[in-house]
Every structure is written in structure tokens, then in C-alpha cells.
Amino acid sequence: MAVKIRLAQRGKKKTRTYRVVVADARSPRDGKFIEDLGFYNPHDNPSTVDINVEQAVSWLDKGAQPSERAKKLLEISGAWAQWRASKGDVVSIPKPPESKVKSSSKANNKKNEAEDELAVNQKGSEEE
């Protein structure tokens, strides 16, 4: 039986959340699964990734193959690095992703203007 670590969809249209699950490769995407490893919410800023690292490493040791997206999530959570390190590979632990900020957003522009004014005021007070 081929076992895969993959994502199962939950939630309504346009507000999807995902469960990271271990399932038989022949079962449907949102169908029966063997074990639930964690949760992924791409709509938060930054995205929320909550994976049980010990269980994920255990399934990787047993030969479970992650999908491409599940592998990225395992890398973000640190489970992939821990599994590779247990195999004897030298692996660097990844940093969490930076928060997404649109450069054209009004809130970001106001924040940048306020920081610039503060810097100019501090610089002017130092010269006096």
C-alpha cells in the first residue's frame, strides 16, 4: 500500500483551510485518511502552519511520500529538516516566511510617511 502525506481541503469556497493528512494514495483527496498530522491556513498573514513534527517524522521514516505542497509545509514546520538530520544529512533549519505587505496599500504608505517624519524630526533635534 502506497502511503502519501498530502493536504485535504476543509471550509467554504474562497476560505479554504487544509489538513495535513497521511492517506492511502488511492483514496480521494478529501476522503478517508489514516492519520491527521496538522493544519494549514493560507489566509492568515503570515500563513498558519501547525504540524505535529514527531508524527510527521515517524511517517517519513515508515516510507510515506509527501506531495509537493505537503513537503513545503514540512520544511516550514521543521519536520523535513529533522527527518533529514536523522538520516545523517547536514540540513539548515529554514526561517519562517516574512509577512506579506502590499507596497501600494494606504496603511503601509502612511506607516512609511510617519517613520520618515520621525526620522527627520530626530535628525533636526540632533543638529541643534
Instruction: Look at residue 126 in the predicted model and tell me its pLDDT.
Output: 60
**Cβ-Cβ contacts under 8 Å for 58 (sequence gap 6 or more):** none
Grid cell in block for residue 100:
506579506
| pLDDT score at 99 | 67
Q: Which residues of the chain have pLDDT under 50?
A: none
Closest CA to 49 of 109, 100, 7, 82: 7
pLDDT of residue 21: 92
